[in-house]
Amino acid sequence: MKIPMSRELPKAYEPSAIEKRWAEYWITEKLFSVPTPPPGEKRPVFTLLLPPPNVTGRLHMGHMLNQTQMDIIVRWHRMRGFLTLWLPGTDHAGIATQMMVERQLAKEGKNRRELGREKFVERVWEWKREYGGAILEQMKRLGASVDWDREYFTMDENLSRAVREVFVRLYEEGLIYRGKYIANWCPRCETVISDLEVKHSDVPGKIWEIRYPVIETALESDQTAAQSAAGRPERPSPREFITVATTRPETMLGDTAVAVNATDERYRHLHGKKVRLPLMNREIPIILDELANPEFGTGAVKVTPAHDPNDFEAGRRHNLPQIEILDEHARTNANAGPYASLDRFKARERVVADLEEQGFLVSAKDYMVPLGTCDRCGTVVEPRISEQWFVKIKPLAEPAIRVVESGEVSIVPENHKQVYLNWMNNIRDWPVSRQLWWGHRIPVWHCGDCNETIVARETPAKCPKCGSTKLEQDTDVLDTWFSSGLLPFTTLGWPEKTRDQEVFYPTTLLITAYEILFFWVARMIMFGCHFMKGHQQDPAIKKASGWGDKKDDSVPFRQVYIHALVRDAERQKMSKTKGNVIDPLEIIDRFGTDATRFTLAAMAAPGTDIAFNESRTEGYRNFANKIWNAARFMFMNQPADQSSAVSRQSSAGGVCGFEARTLEDRWILSRFNRVTKDVNAELTDFRFHEAASGIYNFFWTEFCDWYLELLKPRLNSDNGGEVRVAAGNLVRLFEAALRLLHPIMPFITEEIWQAIYEGQAPAKSIALAPYPQVDERQIDLAAETDMAILQDLIVSVRNLRAELKVETKMKVPVEIYAQDRATRALIEQNRGAVERLANVETIAFVETSLAKKGGSRNTARFDVHVVYERKIDTQVERARLQKELDAVEKEIESKQRQLGNDQFLSKAPGKVVDGMRSRLDELRILRDKLRKQLEELG
Near RNA in 178-217, by CB under 7 A:
195-196, 199-200, 202, 207
Q: Kindly report the backbone phi and psi dihedral angles of residue 230, in degrees, each rounded to the nearest multiple of 5, phi listed first.
A: -80, 5
Q: List the one residue out of 91, 153, 100, 154 whose CA is nearest residue 127.
A: 100
Tell me the torsion sign for CA atoms 826, 831, 835, 837. negative
DSSP 252: G
Stretch that binds RNA, among 267-275, 417-425, 490-498, 642-650 (CB under 7 A): 417-425
Least distance to RNA, CB of residue 324, Å: 18
The residues, ordered by sequence, that sit 6+ positions from 357 with a Cβ below 8 Å of its Cβ are none
- 12 binds RNA, rule: CB under 7 A: yes
Least distance to RNA, CB of residue 577, Å: 13
Q: List the one residue out of 742, 746, 811 whose CA is nearest residue 770.
A: 742
Give dist(CA 475, CA 463) in Å, integer: 17
Residue 884: CB atoms within 10 Å: 16
- 894 binds RNA, rule: CB under 7 A: yes
Whether the Cβ atoms of residue 323 and residue 306 lie closer than 8 Å to each other = yes
Least distance to RNA, CB of residue 180, Å: 19
Whether the Cβ atoms of residue 37 and residue 73 lie closer than 8 Å to each other = no
Least distance to RNA, CB of residue 422, Å: 6
Q: List the one residue out of 133, 138, 53, 54 whose CA is nearest residue 98.
A: 54
Residue 829: CB atoms within 10 Å: 13
Number of residues lying near RNA (CB under 7 A): 95
Give dist(CA 530, CA 357) in Å, integer: 60
- 378 binds RNA, rule: CB under 7 A: no
- 784 binds RNA, rule: CB under 7 A: no
- 299 binds RNA, rule: CB under 7 A: yes
Nearer to RNA, 548 or 909 (CB): 909
Q: By CB under 7 A, name the one of 203, 230, 540, 636 that touches RNA.
A: 636
- 785 binds RNA, rule: CB under 7 A: no
- 915 binds RNA, rule: CB under 7 A: yes
- 265 binds RNA, rule: CB under 7 A: no
Nearer to RNA, 135 or 603 (CB): 603
Nearer to RNA, 261 or 433 (CB): 261
Least distance to RNA, CB of residue 921, Å: 10
DSSP 266: G
- 769 binds RNA, rule: CB under 7 A: no
Task: Tell me the three state secondary structure of residue 471.
Answer: strand
Whether the Cβ atoms of residue 672 and residue 733 lie closer than 8 Å to each other = yes
> What angle (nearest 5°) sits at the alpha carbon of residue 621, between those of residues 620 and 624?
90
Stretch that binds RNA, among 31-39, 397-405, 810-818, 903-911 (CB under 7 A): 903-911
- 292 binds RNA, rule: CB under 7 A: yes
- 891 binds RNA, rule: CB under 7 A: yes
- 307 binds RNA, rule: CB under 7 A: no
Q: By CB under 7 A, name the one of 418, 459, 469, 719 that touches RNA.
A: 418
Whether the Cβ atoms of residue 304 and residue 244 lie closer than 8 Å to each other = no
Q: By CB under 7 A, name the one of 386, 410, 580, 629 that touches RNA.
A: 629
Furthest-apart CA atoms within the chain: distance in Å: 122
Nearer to RNA, 425 or 451 (CB): 425
- 81 binds RNA, rule: CB under 7 A: no
- Stretch 132-161: interaction string toward RNA, x if CB under 7 A: ------------------------------
Q: By CB under 7 A, name the one of 709, 722, 784, 928 that touches RNA.
A: 709
Contacts (CB under 7 A) with RNA, residues 654-683: none
Whether the Cβ atoms of residue 626 and residue 633 lie closer than 8 Å to each other = no
Secondary structure tally for the chain: helices H, strands E: 31, 29
Stretch that binds RNA, among 43-51, 396-404, 461-469, 900-908 (CB under 7 A): 900-908
Least distance to RNA, CB of residue 251, Å: 8
Bond into 52 cis (ω within 30): no
- 569 binds RNA, rule: CB under 7 A: yes
Backbone angle region of 268, left / alpha / beta, with phi > 0 → left and psi within -120 to 50 → alpha: alpha
Nearer to RNA, 632 or 931 (CB): 632
- 319 binds RNA, rule: CB under 7 A: no
Q: By CB under 7 A, name the one of 63, 92, 248, 269 that touches RNA.
A: 248
Q: By CB under 7 A, name the one of 693, 773, 819, 896 that touches RNA.
A: 693
Nearer to RNA, 158 or 410 (CB): 410
Stretch that binds RNA, among 270-278, 387-395, 474-482, 703-711 (CB under 7 A): 703-711
Give dist(CA 847, CA 857) in Å, integer: 16
Contacts (CB under 7 A) with RNA, residues 804-833: 808
Whether the Cβ atoms of residue 288 and residue 260 lie closer than 8 Å to each other = yes
Nearer to RNA, 877 or 891 (CB): 891
DSSP 285-327: EEEE-TTS-TTSTTSEEEE-TTT-HHHHHHHHHTT------B-
Nearer to RNA, 334 or 879 (CB): 879
- 621 binds RNA, rule: CB under 7 A: yes
Q: By CB under 7 A, name the one of 33, 459, 536, 608 that touches RNA.
A: 608
Nearer to RNA, 25 or 904 (CB): 904
Contacts (CB under 7 A) with RNA, residues 790-809: 794-795, 798-799, 802, 808
The residues, ordered by sequence, that sit 6+ positions from 579 with a Cβ below 8 Å of its Cβ are none
Determine how β-strand 89-90 pairs with β-strand 83-87: unpaired
Q: By CB under 7 A, name the one of 603, 669, 683, 766 that touches RNA.
A: 603
> How far, in Å, are 5, 9, 28, 754, 759 from residue 2 at the CA level?
9, 18, 12, 11, 9
Give dist(CA 20, CA 142) in Å, integer: 10
Stretch that binds RNA, among 51-59, 101-109, 463-471, 570-578 (CB under 7 A): 570-578
> How far, in Å, are 84, 337, 936 from residue 209 at the CA level?
64, 22, 88
Least distance to RNA, CB of residue 391, Å: 16
- 244 binds RNA, rule: CB under 7 A: yes
Contacts (CB under 7 A) with RNA, residues 13-42: 13-14
Nearer to RNA, 124 or 393 (CB): 393
Give dist(CA 260, CA 25) in Å, integer: 73
Tell me the torsion sign for CA atoms 845, 851, 855, 858. positive
Contacts (CB under 7 A) with RNA, residues 428-447: none
- Stretch 463-502: interaction string toward RNA, x if CB under 7 A: ----------------------------------------
Q: By CB under 7 A, name the one of 3, 215, 340, 369 that touches RNA.
A: 369
Determine how β-strand 198-215 pairs with β-strand 241-246: antiparallel
Least distance to RNA, CB of residue 277, Å: 14
Nearer to RNA, 418 or 536 (CB): 418
